[in-house]
Amino acid sequence: MTPWKPPLTRRSLHILWFACAFVPLLLVHFPQVGFAQSLRYVVRFNDTADPQWIAELKALSDTVALADNGAVSLAQLKRRAEKDQELFRTYLRSRGHYAGTVTYGIEDEADPMAVFFEVEPGPVYLLEETELQAPGLEPSVFEAIAQAVQNLLPEGSSAYAHRIVEADKEILELLGQNGYPLARIEQRKVIVNHDTRRVRTEYTVASGPKCFFGPLKFQGLDSVREESIRPRIPWKEGDLFDSRLMHKAQSNLIQTDLFSVVRLDHGPSADPQGRLPVDVTVVERKPRTFKGGFFYATDVGPELNVSWENRNISAGRARVGADSWLSSEKKILEGLYLRRDFLRTDQFLQADGKIAEEDRDAYWSRNIGAVLSVSRQFNPIIRAGAGAGFRLSVVEQQSDRETFGLFFLPAVLHADTTDNPLDPTKGFRAQVQTAPHWDVTDPSLFFWKTSTTVSTYYDWAGDGRFILAGILSGGSISGAARGNLPADLRFYVGGGGSVRGYGYQSLGPRKNGDPIGGRSFLSWNGELRWRFRERYGVVGFLDGGTAYESTVPDFTQSFHWGTGLGFRYYSPLGPFRIDVAFPLNRRAGIDDAFQIYVSLGQAF
């Protein structure tokens, strides 16, 4: 049956047209006709509450967050306050204040209105000894779990909710590390005794069967061969299941740079022999990367950097790359070949080659060289390597041109606990490089060159907005007089990579007005980094340092200090920086009034 529709008459069309045309005008010019004005209000807390508590409660409050927008009605404002009241009570309990009270009131005759919260935390409740039950669990594992729970929830300590949650995670993590990945917490009771102000926690754990690593299956492989990455799996089929090895396998696969996604999952159940299958799901990265960068500093001019790499050579076993730098002062081409899992899974074989020509104020150099080295990642923090290299160079300084054929044995120790390679906010980095050098063209020339760098980063506010960063560097060359050393291997200080505000390589010993380098150096840099509005930041910095003629720093000679301000734009590729630096110990006829540096990434 077709539904009946009333006919549209000419009069009804006129009425519809009038409504469409004039009702919006009425709403624009007389908004009170359609909408009530919002109620303005402020939020206050009692003066007796701890200011830190108030700051934390304000961060949770919808009443506070929406105060600038006001409220549509008094009823809506009451709902916000009631919601916050219950939220504040929950927060107090999470901090161990189980008898805390929260009340609120609204002064609705004031203009603006006032919402007043009265927060009385009350005493902190303390923990009793935790009771743990795990039927059928082997005694050694039970004792380890009981000790861990006791450490997290010691008797007599404050009954913080986050510690109880951490205990849940710790129990399951320890079970997973000791062959029980299918374990679960069947029941957790938190019993509050208001008379004694004590809290007792009871756990009942179902450990499930004891499991061993079963069949391993890779999913998502295309150009990478399974046999190339299987050695990076740190267990064999039949080994006792350990969740830490799952995490290590994921880290090992990510470190190859072959995959954008790596996920490991064990099966939901084990076979009759207790073997648990493991699936490794990966998404391969595009194997080739082409990058370019532009850098500028007033002391050296513009620089262009172009690089290319292929991370998937020999079906994932190796990586090759090339890096080039071009400016008015240098032309450099570098090549790299890296063989993964050389003799063992945490070891790399690397071959580096370099050809360069540099025309600095301090010297002119043309050189070619190669290094073959082996490095090992001992753990996620520490890496070390050693090798052998040869460098043939022609160096001119002060109209004196010499040829060197240097054989050297480099070694490096590197530690890194930072959270981001381009923009660290916490942790530290330390690196020591050392190498003895022999000149095959002049057997009498031998020297030993060592340099050390330590940097640290502190998140002042705890949210990544204010970062204190500092770096200390030093080096020494022993075994030969300065005049016998290749000029391009001596130490120089000054410029964007060391002491900003001074010309590149301009600090240290000089002859006839030109820098000639030293046998030791010392430099220090400090920055206060303030990041705001997600993408932007400013930096204040103070740098100092110099090079010395002696093999160790001569502290009777004064540092040269530079200071300035920088701007940061935090792009998806990393921080883009512009620094303006001023020399505090400006030398007449040598130093400019200021220097400008433009590049990608933080200064250190």
Can you tell me which residue has the tokens 């039949």? 238
pLDDT of residue 495: 92
Average pLDDT over residues 497-513: 92
Per-residue pLDDT tens digits for 151-194: 999 999 999 988 998 999 999 999 999 999 999 999 999 999 99
187 burial type by CB count under 10 A (0-12 exposed, 13-18 middle, 19+ buried): exposed
Binning pLDDT at 50, 70 and 90, where does residue 530 land? very high
Provide the number of structural domains found in the chain.
Answer: 4
Q: What is the CATH number of the domain that holds 96?
A: 3.10.20
pLDDT at 17 over 70: no
Residue 191 covered by a domain: yes
Q: Which 3 state secondary structure label does DSSP give 283?
A: strand
Considering the domain architecture, whether residues 53 and 162 belong to the same structural domain is answered as: no
Residue 275 covered by a domain: yes
- Give the domain-ending residue among 206, 222, 254: 206
- Give the domain-ending residue among 262, 284, 306: 284
User: Which residues on neighbouring strands pair with residue 431, listed in sequence order?
Assistant: 414, 453
Binning pLDDT at 50, 70 and 90, where does residue 115 land? very high
Average pLDDT over all residues of the chain: 90
Report pTM: 0.71
Considering the domain architecture, whether residues 278 and 413 belong to the same structural domain is answered as: no
- Whether residue 209 is preceded by a cis peptide bond, meaning omega within 30 degrees of 0, is no
Q: By the 8 A CB rule, do 480 and 439 touch? A: no
Binning pLDDT at 50, 70 and 90, where does residue 316 land? confident
Binning pLDDT at 50, 70 and 90, where does residue 81 land? very high
pLDDT of residue 15: 41
pLDDT of residue 37: 59
Residue 420 covered by a domain: yes
Residue 155 covered by a domain: yes
Q: What is the CATH number of the domain that holds 266?
A: 3.10.20.310
What is the per-residue burial (b if ≥16 Cβ within 10 Å, else e) of 525-562?
Answer: bebebebeeeeebebebbbbbbbbeebebeeeeebbbb
Residue 360 covered by a domain: no
pLDDT of residue 383: 95
Q: Which 3 state secondary structure label does DSSP give 211?
A: coil
Considering the domain architecture, whether residues 400 and 491 belong to the same structural domain is answered as: yes
Residue 472 covered by a domain: yes
Beta-strand ranges (E) seen in 178-258 are: 184-193, 198-206, 212-219
Can you tell me which residue has the tokens 């172009």? 306
pLDDT of residue 108: 86
Q: What is the CATH number of the domain that holds 393?
A: 2.40.160.50
Distance CA 418, CA 429 (A): 7
Which of 358, 314, 355 shows the shortest CA–CA distance to 334? Answer: 355
For residue 132, report the phi and psi dihedrals to the nearest 5 degrees. Answer: -125, 130
Question: Please, where are the H alpha helices in 36-180?
Answer: 51-60, 62-65, 74-94, 139-152, 161-177
Residue 258's domain spans which residues? 212-284
Considering the domain architecture, whether residues 52 and 178 belong to the same structural domain is answered as: no
Considering the domain architecture, whether residues 259 and 161 belong to the same structural domain is answered as: no
Residue 13 covered by a domain: no
Distance CA 393, CA 369 (A): 8
Distance CA 539, CA 500 (A): 13
pLDDT of residue 14: 42
Considering the domain architecture, whether residues 411 and 505 belong to the same structural domain is answered as: yes
Tokens coding 369: 């060289």
Order of all β-strands in the sheet with 113-120: 41-45, 113-120, 101-107
3-state secondary structure 101-115: EEEEEEECCCCCEEE
Considering the domain architecture, whether residues 80 and 202 belong to the same structural domain is answered as: no
Distance CA 300, CA 327 (A): 8
Considering the domain architecture, whether residues 185 and 222 belong to the same structural domain is answered as: no
Considering the domain architecture, whether residues 222 and 75 belong to the same structural domain is answered as: no
What is the DSSP-derived secondary structure letter of residue 73? Answer: S
Distance CA 361, CA 397 (A): 9
- Give the domain-ending residue among 182, 206, 230: 206
Contacts of 263 (CB under 8 A, 6+ apart): 250, 280, 281, 282
Tokens coding 535: 């993408």
Q: What amino acid occupies position 402?
A: E
Distance CA 116, CA 113 (A): 10
Which of 14, 112, 129, 102 shows the shortest CA–CA distance to 70? Answer: 112
For residue 465, report the phi and psi dihedrals to the nearest 5 degrees. Answer: -90, -35
Considering the domain architecture, whether residues 443 and 392 belong to the same structural domain is answered as: yes
Considering the domain architecture, whether residues 146 and 95 belong to the same structural domain is answered as: no
Considering the domain architecture, whether residues 521 and 420 belong to the same structural domain is answered as: yes
Q: Which 3 state secondary structure label does DSSP give 571?
A: strand
Residue 328 covered by a domain: no
Q: What percent of the chain has pLDDT over 90?
A: 72
pLDDT of residue 27: 39
Give the count of alpha carbons within 13 A of 474, CB side only: 8
Q: By the 8 A CB rule, do 393 and 404 touch? A: yes
Q: Which 3 state secondary structure label does DSSP give 248?
A: helix
Average pLDDT over residues 17-41: 49
